Amino acid sequence: MPRTIRSLAAECGQGTVEYVALILLVAAIFAAVVTAGPGESGSKIANKITTEIQNQINSIGAKAK
């Protein structure tokens, strides 16, 4: 097997691992915000963060089309 094919095969699935790590990081941040915020305040902050992330993803998707 040529070296370039072995190199590409070694990286197979790497993107998935990175996305899972990113999702876990965001989930940990949400959990910390909700836990640290008193009552409704933590939920409002988490909702605001979620909305902003969704808006950024949608704007990137719109630019790709």
> Per-domain residue ranges for the chain?
3-64
62 or 7: whose pLDDT is higher? 62
Residue 17: the pLDDT is: 79
| Residue 13 DSSP label | T
- pLDDT confidence band for 8 (50 / 70 / 90): low
Most confident option among 6-10, 51-55, 58-62: 51-55
pTM: 0.48
Structure tokens at 32: 């910390």
Helix, strand and coil content of the chain, in percent to the nearest 5, comes to: 85, 0, 15
44 or 3: whose pLDDT is higher? 44
Residue 19: the pLDDT is: 83
